[in-house]
Amino acid sequence: MRSLDIQSLRTFILVAETESFTAAADQLGATQSAVSLRIRRLEEMVDNRLLDRTPRFVRITEFGSGFLDEAKRLVAHHDALLARATKRDAIAPIHIGVSDHAAGPRLPEVLRRFRRRAPTAPLRVSIDSSCRLNSAFDARRYDAVIVRSDGAEKGRRLFQDRVVWMAADRAVWRPGEPTPLISVSEPCQLRNEAAAALEAAGHEWFDAFCGGGIAAAQYAIEAGLGIACLDFRNAPSGAVILGPEDGLPELPRPRAQLILRQRGEDEARGRLIDMFADAMVEADSSLAAP
């Protein structure tokens, strides 16, 4: 009789969550070829394709999406049974996704504060865009996510902030010239809103810098490469805040809020998630938007 291999299931879960064979291999301490072999053998076992992969992307199939939920439950039951049999408390890691806009440069302090509160709690933190995190949360790939919200998603509001134009100084752009836009790579809600505001006002613009995260955008701002539209809390030191008086259009949503979305299925895990959210709030010195 055929049986599923737990290690292969763990590997599949990691690849599906990270959408990367390389990232999964790093977390497992295995080679990429070993990860590929485990996935291939698992697909042969279930006689279905679990993942679509090309040199550019890895995506879970429709069958794989349904199989993922069952695989997680089976691995959790396996770990719980093993813990009881060996009289050890095995707590599955709490997987929290944090929007790059929320994390910013404060993430190390957030993690330090959480670890002081819960020094032994198993924790996995992933940084991504709010768009992708919301989709993954809805697909039950995270225990909780901290994301930007326009009000459509329900959750605990952690803080609100202004959304502003910013640059190293006012000399990086003159009204009438095409606007050199600094942004985070798509999918990024702020990038889309900035572009829409410029186009609605009849401003020509171009991508002066499009980086993979908030830190990269901050470096570009400091280097004077152009103008960015970001949360005020993510303005790098010395940045100048710009607005209509500088020839830039009003932003459609001048305030943004960051919320915590979490599952209420386990009280103990919920308390740890709340600890993480509290650590994020405490680490931020500009909670109340001016």
Determine the average pLDDT of the residues in 137-158. 84
What global pTM score does this model have?
A: 0.61
pLDDT of residue 257: 80
pLDDT of residue 87: 59
Residue 183 CA, chain-centre distance (Å), reads: 16
Of 86, 93, 97, nearest to 72 (Cα)? 93
pLDDT of residue 90: 52
d(CA 65, CA 193): 31
% of the chain with per-residue pLDDT over 70 = 93
Q: Per residue in 220-269, pLDDT tens?
A: 999 999 999 998 888 998 899 999 998 999 887 767 788 889 877 677 78
Determine the average pLDDT of the residues in 25-34. 81
Domain ranges of the chain: 6-86, 94-159+256-283, 161-254
Q: Per residue in 160-195, pLDDT tens?
A: 888 899 999 888 888 889 999 999 887 788 888 899
Determine the average pLDDT of the residues in 266-287. 78
d(CA 87, CA 202): 68
Rg over CA atoms, the chain: 22
pLDDT of residue 38: 92
Residue 41 binned pLDDT confidence (cut-offs 50, 70, 90): very high
For residue 282, pLDDT beyond 80: yes
Determine the average pLDDT of the residues in 14-32. 82
For residue 51, pLDDT beyond 90: yes
Of 101, 110, 165, 159, nearest to 288 (Cα)? 159
Please name the residue ranges forming H helices in the chain: 6-18, 21-28, 32-46, 62-86, 100-103, 107-117, 130-138, 189-200, 214-222, 267-283
Count CB atoms within 10 A of the CB of residue 285.
8
For residue 290, pLDDT beyond 60: no
d(CA 137, CA 236): 30
In the predicted model, what is the mean pLDDT of the chain? Answer: 85
Q: Assign domain 6-86 to a CATH class.
A: mainly alpha
d(CA 126, CA 231): 20
pLDDT of residue 288: 38
Determine the average pLDDT of the residues in 67-72. 89
Domains 6-86 and 94-159+256-283 are alike in CATH topology:
no
pLDDT of residue 145: 94
- Sequence-distant (≥ 6) Cβ neighbours of residue 98 within 8 angstroms: 107, 125, 126, 127, 128, 133, 145, 146, 280
Fold of 94-159+256-283: D-Maltodextrin-Binding Protein; domain 2 (3.40.190)
Helices 21-28/6-18 angle, 10° precision: 130
Of 146, 222, 217, nearest to 186 (Cα)? 217
Contact 181, 194 (CB under 8 A): yes
Q: Which CATH superfamily is domain 161-254 in?
A: Periplasmic binding protein-like II (3.40.190.10)
DSSP conformation letters of 134-145: HHHHHTT--SEE
pLDDT of residue 83: 67
Q: Per residue in 148-167, pLDDT tens?
A: 886 666 788 888 888 899 99
Q: Per residue in 99-121, pLDDT tens?
A: 988 887 788 888 988 888 888 78
For residue 96, pLDDT beyond 70: yes
Residue 281 binned pLDDT confidence (cut-offs 50, 70, 90): confident
DSSP conformation letters of 25-72: HHHHT--HHHHHHHHHHHHHHHTS--EEE-SS-EEE-HHHHHHHHHHH
d(CA 96, CA 17): 12
Determine the average pLDDT of the residues in 60-66. 91
Report CA-CA distances (Å) from 284 to 48, 71, 114, 180, 250: 47, 37, 13, 29, 26
